[in-house]
Chain A
Amino acid sequence: EAGVTQFPSHSVIEKGQTVTLRCDPISGHDNLYWYRRVMGKEIKFLLHFVKESKQDESGMPNNRFLAERTGGTYSTLKVQPAELEDSGVYFCASSQVGGGPQFFGPGTRLTVL
């Protein structure tokens, strides 16, 4: 069974540009989560999808971040415009309906210059 995959693995952009991160969860997992780890800090929750619906987006830092999960399969996280403080590793995780352990992808390392 394929795990959670994320694309790209690395992205380097300039301040003010737009970046879109993609996450493909484990097939059949209705729950999809986005987290990020900023340098030197804890992994922090961003938002949670159940299928295509946003269940909890309390961790989204501001309106420059937009997450979508059209069709309830893969998800995208767009940052527009990117700021220096957005640099970090963005993780995606998925879990089965009803909860259970969250399985993480390898992350996308975003660097904003």
Chain B
Amino acid sequence: GQSLEQPSEVTAVEGAIVQINCTYQTSGFYGLSWYQQHDGGAPTFLSYNALDGLEETGRFSSFLSRSDSYGYLLLQELQMKDSASYFCAVKGNAGNMLTFGGGTRLMVKP
């Protein structure tokens, strides 16, 4: 089977840095993706890590350690508009299907 664990909720203040962790147990692993979803909206692709290390895209960075089956999403200089749900998802086989975590609801406060 496949499972991904991430915190259900995180709260932070505007301008701060927040890290959302994701641990996974999967029968296969090709890569870890992160998606952002605002209420009622489409999950929006943020990043994809296939190899160990840190990938940086503007204020957002994503890290992967395959040996630890662990990754995280780092959000810097938090803005109110970053309040949303964030999902990690594993691409577990060559067929491209994604297995999602339960999502982390991030609340950014003034």
Q: Which residues of A contact B (CB under 8 A)?
A: 3-4, 31, 33, 35, 41-45, 48, 55-56, 58-59, 91, 95, 99, 101-107
A59 to B98, CA, bound (A): 11
Complex contact B101–A55 (CB within 8 A): no
Q: A56-B95, A95-B96, A99-B96 are in contact. Are A104 and B103 (CB under 8 A)?
A: no
User: A106 CA to B37 CA in the complex, in Å?
Assistant: 10
Find chain B residues with CB under 8 A from A107 CB: 42
Contact between A33 and B97, CB atoms less than 8 A apart: yes
Structural contact, B42 and A91, CB atoms closer than 8 A? yes
**Chain A residue contacts of B45, Cβ below 8 A:** 101-104
Q: Does B44 lie at the interface of the complex (its beta carbon under 8 Å from any beta carbon of A)?
A: yes
Q: Known interface pairs A48-B95, A56-B95, A101-B33. Does A42 touch B100 (Cβ–Cβ under 8 Å)?
A: yes
